[in-house]
Amino acid sequence: MTANRPLDGRTAIVTGAGRGLGRAEALELARLGAAVVVNDFGRPGRDGSGEASAAPAEEVAARIRAEGGQAVAHVGDVADHGRARELVALALDTYGSLDILVNNAGILRDRMVFSMTEDEWDSVIRVHLKGHFNTTRFAAAHWRERSKAAGGPVYGRIVNTSSEAFLAGSPGQSNYAAAKGGIVGLTTSTAQALAKYGVTANAICPRARTRMTEDVFAGLAGAADGGVDPLAPEHVSPLVGYLAAPAAARVNGQVFVVHGGMVALLERPRVAARFDTAKDLFSHGELDGLLTPYFAERPAGETFAATEVLRLKRGAS
């Protein structure tokens, strides 16, 4: 292991790595020395539609090998419990270890909440949240067994992909925002459960121009004068590489916003205001007298996290 290759001898799984963010993350981990299992279901539609294909995962794995690295492709739906188990087994069977898990796979099925179908809700929760759980479950079981056999902590890193949508909401994406909020809960719970085994779990909220976000960022300027696009996935992948590395051993249970040369660490929610009853129980009138004036002084429509999101945006400018 060297300063330029801190992941030499390590094995990583990256899900949804055939395109966009996952692809950039897989390439970054390989550049840092990791052998990479490149997972992608290969369906062309960002809503998860179309025929599964090995081509996206195979192309990324082939590029890593062409650049002197080690990589193998895995084509499978990580939201399927059995395929997630198979993915972890592939890493262990091929490289003899698993050290890093980067969960990135996801789909979009946008619709306003009053029009969303049950399938549109279920499918997004399934791929994002269940997909993150499935791979985490089998990787965590492996690390726990290794730790028990070793009689102490082992090396394990989990990097999950959330979104700022869980903070401030996203009209037309109630399924996506709910899934991303769930991923943060999964991450912080996993971080506490696995810390004694030497495993860390952190989440990132990236902004990047990918196939899934092409319409969201369509009006924003790209690279100027041959520079790097401020929304290029390559702005996100170095943070993933850092969180996967030995240097991040003390970083656990954290949530980061990352894009365009900026990394912001989120705080856990704090109490913004407290209201106490003057009697044994609140009455409607008392709550009206306390809460209504308070919210009347705040910007209309402000969510519990909007102030923090705006602060992060100002800090990035």
As annotated, the active-site residues are 163, 176, 180
Please give the chain's pLDDT, 317 residues, in tens.
788 999 999 999 999 999 999 999 999 999 999 999 999 998 877 778 788 889 999 999 999 999 999 999 999 999 999 999 999 999 999 999 999 999 999 998 989 999 999 999 999 999 999 999 999 999 999 999 999 999 999 999 999 999 988 887 888 899 999 999 999 999 999 999 999 999 999 999 998 665 555 555 445 555 556 666 677 888 999 999 999 999 999 999 999 999 888 999 999 888 889 999 999 999 999 999 999 999 998 877 666 554 444 333 333 32
Calpha distance 52→73 (Å, rounded): 14
Q: What is the amino acid identity at position 42?
A: G
Cβ neighbors of 179 (< 8 A, separation 6 or more) are 106, 124, 125, 128, 129
What length is written for the chain? Answer: 317
Q: Which two tokens stand for residue 124?
A: 């997004």
CA angle 221, 15, 58 (to 5 degrees): 90
Q: Give the DSSP letter of residue 283.
A: -
Q: Give the DSSP letter of residue 130.
A: I
Intra-chain end-to-end CA distance of the chain, in Å: 36
- How many other C-beta atoms lie within 10 A of the C-beta of residue 43? 17
Q: Which two tokens stand for residue 29?
A: 């981990």
pTM over 0.85: yes
What pLDDT, in 10s, does the model give residues 103-148?
Answer: 999 998 989 999 999 999 999 999 999 999 999 999 999 999 999 9
pLDDT attached to residue 312: 38
